[in-house]
């Protein structure tokens, strides 16, 4: 279990550090966007979205460790199919959380360039999920995964089960 935790911290830190912190910071710097000089409704809504998205992504990471006995990295996935926690209502809550956090940051900074990055991130994630992740999970977990896909939506939460 400790090995899984260590691997997850390393992989998640690299992904979060690059895709959700470093690249957005470079985009903001290149666009000349600075920290907002005032705190208005847009910053409040953006900040809340960042917190919710980050919390959701962290909850997913914890579920992968505790329930799946694996990491969120595609090359070191969970050993068990995770269908509880946030995965009870949505098949890809970690990606949704990351996208929500990015979108919230684009609102907070009122940065069109970061909004474009967020859309590109969402499109790239969707393509990855459809072309790689879903077929791989189907091959790995078989009928259990097929049943899960019938019950739980890919991107839009189903709040009743």
Please give the Cα distance from 105 to 19 (Å, whole number).
Answer: 13
**Single pTM value for the model:** 0.91
Please give the Cα distance from 4 to 37 (Å, whole number).
Answer: 42
Which of 135, 100, 141 has the alpha carbon at shortest distance from 121? 100
Inter-CA distances, 124 with 63, 70, 128, 142, Å: 23, 23, 6, 25
- At 40-51, the pLDDT tens digits run 999 999 999 999
Q: Of how many residues is the chain composed? A: 161
Crossing angle for the helix pair 41-66 and 2-15, nearest 10 degrees?
150
Residues 6+ apart with CB under 8 A from 121: 19, 98, 99, 102
- At 124-160, the pLDDT tens digits run 999 999 999 999 999 999 999 999 999 999 999 876 6
């Amino acid at each position: 279990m400790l090995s899984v935790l260590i691997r997850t911290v390393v992989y998640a830190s690299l992904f979060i550090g690059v895709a959700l912190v470093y690249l957005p910071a470079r985009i903001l710097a290149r666009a000349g966007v600075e920290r907002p000089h005032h705190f208005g409704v847009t910053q409040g809504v953006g900040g809340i979205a960042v917190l919710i998205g980050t919390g959701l992504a962290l909850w997913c990471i914890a579920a992968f460790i505790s329930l799946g006995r694996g990491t969120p990295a595609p090359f070191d996935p969970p050993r068990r199919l995770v269908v509880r926690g946030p995965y009870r209502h949505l098949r890809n809550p970690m990606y949704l959380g990351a996208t929500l956090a990015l979108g919230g940051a684009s609102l907070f900074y009122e940065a069109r360039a970061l909004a474009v990055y967020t859309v590109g991130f969402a499109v790239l994630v969707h393509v990855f999920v459809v072309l790689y992740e879903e077929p791989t999970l189907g091959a790995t977990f078989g009928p259990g995964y097929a049943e899960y896909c019938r019950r739980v939506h890919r991107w839009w939460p189903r709040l009743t089960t």
